A and B are shown apart, each in its own frame.
Chain A
Amino acid sequence: MGRQYEIPIGAQHISLLEPLHFKFTTENEKIVATEANVYYVHRGIEQACCSKFKFRQVSFVVGRVCGLCSISHTTAYSQVAEKLLKIEIPLRAKYLRMLVIELDRIHSHLLCLSHVAENSGFEALFMKTMQYREFSMELLEAVCGNRIQYDFSIVGGVARDLKPQVAQSILERLKKFIPQLDELMDIYKNNWTLSLKNKGAGAITKEDAMRLNVVGPFARAAGLAIDVRNETEDLLPWKEVGFEMITETSGDVYARNMVRLRELYVSIRIIENIINGLPESALITETKAFPDGEATVRLEAPRGELFYYAKGNKTQILERLKIKAPTFSNVAAMAEAFTGNEYGSAPAIIASYDPCLSCTAR
Chain B
Amino acid sequence: MNKVMTSIENLKKDIGDFYKPELHHFMVMNAVEVGDQIEVQWFFSDYAHPCDTTCFYTLVSPETEIPSIKDIVASAWVAEAELVDLMNIKVENTQKGFVLEPDFESGPLRKKK
Question: Is the pair B28, A210 in contact by a Cβ cutoff of 8 Å?
Answer: no
Q: Which of B79-113 contact A (CB under 8 A)?
A: 79, 82, 85-86, 97-101, 104, 108-109
Give which listed residue, A44, A215, A298, A328, contacts B108 with CB less than 8 A: A44
User: Given A212-B75, A226-B47, A298-B45, does the pair A324, B28 have CB atoms closer than 8 Å?
Assistant: yes
- The reply to whether B74 and A331 form a contact with Cβ atoms under 8 Å apart is no
Please tell me which stretch of B6-14, B18-26, B60-68 contacts chain A, meaning at least 4 of its Cβ atoms lie within 8 angstroms of it: B18-26
Residue of A nearest to B41 (CB): A309
| Contact status of A213 and B32, CB under 8 A, knowing A38-B99, A232-B51 | no
Contacting pair A210 B22 (CB below 8 A): yes
Bound CA–CA A185/B26 (angstroms): 33
Binding site secondary structure of chain A: mixed
Contact B100 A39 (CB under 8 A): yes
| Residues of A with C-beta under 8 A to B79 | 328
Q: Quick one: CB contact mask for A318-333 with B, threshold 8 Å, 1 for yes?
A: 0110101000110111
How many chain-B residues does the 8 Å CB contact rule pick out? Answer: 35
In the complex, which residue of chain B has the Cβ closest to the Cβ of A206?
B22
Indicate if the CB atoms of B45 and A47 lie closer than 8 Å: no
- With contacts defined as CB atoms under 8 Å apart, how many contacts are there between chain A and chain B in the complex? 88
| A234 nearest CB across to chain B (Å) | 7
Bound Cα distance from A328 to B77, whole angstroms: 11
Residues of A143-177 whose CB lies within 8 A of B? none
Instruction: Give the size of the chain A interface in residues (CB under 8 angstroms).
Output: 38
Given A38-B99, A39-B98, A307-B27, A231-B50 contact (CB < 8 Å): yes
B78 close to chain A: CB less than 8 A? yes
A42, A234, A305, A333: the one within 8 Å of B100 (CB): A42
Contact, CB under 8 Å: B108 / A307: no
Q: Which residue of A lies closest to B45 (CB)?
A: A298
Contact B25 A213 (CB under 8 A): yes
Q: Determine if A4 is an interface residue (Cβ-Cβ < 8 Å).
A: no
* Interface contact A332-B78, CB-CB below 8 Å: yes
Chain A residues whose C-beta falls within 8 Å of the C-beta of B98 in the assembled complex: 37-39
- Bound CA span A226–B50, Å: 9
Contacts of B28 in A (CB 8 A): 307, 322, 324, 328-329
| CB 8 Å contact bits of A281-322 with B (1 = contact, 0 = none) | 000000000000011101000000101010100000001101
CB <8 Å contact, B100 and A46: no
A44-B85 Cα distance, complex, nearest whole Å = 12
Q: Which residues of B contact A332 (CB under 8 A)?
A: 74-75, 77-78
Does A211 lie at the interface of the complex (its beta carbon under 8 Å from any beta carbon of B)?
Answer: yes
> How distant is the Cα of A174 from the Cα of B51 in the complex, in angstroms?
32
Q: In the complex, are the beta carbons of A211 and B74 less than 8 A apart?
A: yes
Chain A residue numbers with a CB within 8 Å of B47 are 226
A361 and B28 alpha carbons, distance in the complex (Å): 14
For residue A57, CB closer than 8 A to chain B, the reply is no
Q: Is A39 a contact of B101 with CB atoms below 8 Å?
A: yes
Point out the residue from A39, A46, A230, A329 that lies within 8 Å of B50, measured CB to CB.
Answer: A230
Q: A296-B1, A332-B78, A333-B75 are in contact. Are A39 and B97 (CB under 8 A)?
A: yes
Contact surface of A with B, Cβ cutoff 8 Å: 37-39, 42, 44, 46-47, 207, 210-213, 215, 226, 228, 230-234, 294-296, 298, 305, 307, 309, 311, 319-320, 322, 324, 328-329, 331-333, 361
Q: Which 6 A-B pairs have the closest CB atoms?
A: A231-B50, A332-B75, A324-B28, A212-B75, A213-B26, A322-B30
> Interface of B with A (CB < 8 Å)?
1, 21-22, 25-28, 30, 32-33, 41, 43, 45, 47, 50-51, 53, 55, 73-75, 77-79, 82, 85-86, 97-101, 104, 108-109
A-B contact pairs, 8 of them (CB 8 A): A39-B85, A210-B22, A213-B25, A230-B50, A232-B51, A298-B53, A309-B43, A320-B33
Q: Can you add 19 more A-B contacts, CB < 8 Å, to A213-B74, A294-B32, A331-B75?
A: A37-B97, A39-B97, A46-B86, A211-B74, A211-B75, A212-B74, A213-B75, A230-B50, A231-B50, A294-B1, A296-B1, A298-B45, A298-B53, A322-B30, A324-B27, A328-B28, A332-B74, A332-B78, A361-B99
